[in-house]
């Protein structure tokens, strides 16, 4: 049996209702995840092998605490040269395996004053002004599920912490922004900036899935912290909020 047929059979027998995408350097967040089967992106029809260090590039099915979950260790990015169809292939594969919710995590640069390295933000809305258009038809106006957003903010409130429900600016990368671009994004209402997630959330909503996203702040956005940005720092700092993110994701998958 080809690798994907075997993986799909394992997924169908577990019947996960939720997919969780773990972004740059966040694979370690899945401590509560017991893996049953896994497959590299390159063996999944519609996906492609990843090209960025720090991104695992494989799918797995298993149990997150007691909840069956499809986990993607890494994702594909537009800046790797993949067309939007392939970037969003993960959403279609997850939907094909029967999930009803698509949850994403990613690294961001913090623009909002409360968002420094180690901080988290729930994505309530996004800007996709700067990339080439992904769709010919209008994208879903509000792809993020208000219900799942409330699960996230309620969980953090119950733990005595605030969680900003903010605006995520999705740029195509791969280079980080200039300080002038960050000032412009701030004026447009962006709280955090990253290079993924938005098109996938739109695709998920268009397919009728509940979409949610949690941003993990790895650095102050360009010109805000003073320090120049580099990819190694982003990967290192992605681990700062690991415990808090793990707990939050556990609550979210249990609520789907």
- Angle of helix 198-206 versus helix 89-96 axis, rounded to 10: 40
- Kindly state the smallest distance separating residue 114's Cβ from ligand HPA, in Å: 16
Of the candidates 10, 32, 63, 229, which one interacts with ligand HPA according to CB under 6 A? 229
Judged by CB, which is closer to ligand HPA: 73, or 155? 73
- Distance CA(150)–CA(121), nearest Å, equals 13
Question: Which residue is at the shortest CB distance from ligand HPA?
Answer: 109
Q: If you search the block for the tokens 């397919």, which residue do you land on?
A: 207
Segment interacting with ligand HPA (CB under 6 A) among 34-42, 88-96, 119-127, 213-221: 213-221
Q: What's the CA dihedral at 156, 158, 162, 166 to 10 degrees?
A: 50
Binders of ligand HPA among 74-103, rule CB under 6 A? none
Interaction between residue 108 and ligand HPA (CB under 6 A): yes
Of the candidates 176, 191, 201, 202, which one interacts with ligand HPA according to CB under 6 A? 176
Judged by CB, which is closer to ligand HPA: 138, or 226? 226
Judged by CB, which is closer to ligand HPA: 105, or 145? 105
DSSP annotation string for 180-194: HHHHHHHHTT-SEEE
- Distance CA(79)–CA(82), nearest Å, equals 7
Query: Cis before residue 174, ω within 30 degrees of 0?
Result: yes
Binders of ligand HPA among 31-60, rule CB under 6 A? none
Show Cβ contacts of residue 54 under 8 Å, excluding neighbours closer than 6 positions.
24, 25, 231, 234, 235, 238
Of the candidates 193, 198, 201, 253, which one interacts with ligand HPA according to CB under 6 A? 193
Binding region for ligand HPA (CB under 6 A):
107-109, 176-177, 193-195, 218-219, 221, 229, 234
């Amino acid at each position: 049996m080809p690798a994907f047929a075997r993986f799909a059979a394992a997924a169908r027998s577990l019947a996960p209702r939720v997919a969780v995408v773990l972004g740059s350097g966040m694979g370690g967040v899945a401590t509560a995840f017991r893996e049953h089967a896994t497959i590299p992106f390159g063996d999944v029809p519609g996906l492609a092998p990843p090209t960025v260090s720090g991104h695992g590039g494989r799918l797995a099915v298993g149990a997150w605490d007691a909840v069956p979950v499809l986990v993607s260790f890494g994702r594909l990015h537009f800046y790797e040269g993949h067309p939007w169809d392939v970037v969003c292939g993960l959403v279609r594969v997850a939907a094909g395996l029967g999930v009803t919710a698509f949850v994403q995590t990613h690294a961001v640069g913090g623009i909002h004053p409360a968002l420094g390295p180690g901080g988290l933000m729930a994505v309530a809305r996004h800007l996709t002004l700067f990339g080439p258009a992904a769709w010919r038809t209008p994208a879903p106006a509000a792809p993020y599920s208000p219900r799942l957003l409330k699960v996230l903010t309620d969980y953090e409130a119950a733990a005595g912490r605030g969680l900003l429900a903010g605006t995520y600016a999705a740029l195509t990368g791969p280079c980080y922004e200039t300080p002038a671009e960050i000032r412009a994004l701030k004026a447009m209402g962006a709280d955090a900036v990253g290079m993924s997630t938005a098109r996938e959330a739109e695709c998920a909503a268009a397919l009728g899935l509940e979409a949610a996203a949690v941003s993990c702040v790895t650095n102050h956005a360009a010109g805000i912290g003073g320090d120049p940005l580099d990819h190694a720092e982003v990967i290192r700092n992605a681990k700062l909020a690991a415990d808090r993110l793990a707990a939050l994701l556990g609550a979210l998958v249990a609520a789907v």
